[in-house]
Amino acid sequence: MQDAIATLIGAYDATGKYFDRDAMDALKAYFATGNARLAASSAITANAASIVRKAGSQLFEEVPDLIRPGGNAYTTRRFAACLRDMDYYLRYASYALVAGNNDVLDERVLQGLRETYNSLGVPIGPTVQGIQIMKQLVFEQVGESADWLAAPFDYMTRELSEKNI
């Protein structure tokens, strides 16, 4: 897993360039939000079970067909798997927050996930909806809605959503 600093250094090293104004500004922005990123990650960690439980409840209220017979969260096993996956997304979002980089999401969560869900018949739409619900709950928990706080959730949403070809 790379953080914002390692990614930036790698990009400049690959091209053989010294840091320019853009690189310095990116580093300043990362460090300026460092304490807030750690506080947000701590809040997520301390309240993860509650966030996942609330997000699941809200998702199943908004899309009740998921928990009805024939729905993808019908049966205790499927319901638990849905909440487990939501917990994974939240945990990895907290990693990406601290790192200031979404590479961990690609490496650990998103690579092959869409194909796996499609092969299992898991609908992507409610998954995306659940991630966005968790984002709102994290905003409430942390007490702010900064771009850096939304970034990992929006990245997962964008990568999982259907794309026009």
- Each domain of the chain, given as residue ranges in start order, spans 1-32, 34-160
68/86 Cα distance (integer angstroms): 19
Contact predicate 153/161, CB 8 Å: no
Fold of 34-160: Globin-like (1.10.490)
Each residue's pLDDT tens digit, 111-163:
888 788 888 888 899 999 999 999 999 999 999 889 999 999 999 999 998 65
Contact predicate 44/93, CB 8 Å: yes
pTM equals 0.90
71/104 Cα distance (integer angstroms): 30
Identify the three-state secondary structure at position 101: coil
Each residue's pLDDT tens digit, 14-61:
999 999 999 999 999 999 999 999 999 999 999 999 999 999 999 999
Each residue's pLDDT tens digit, 77-86:
999 999 999 9
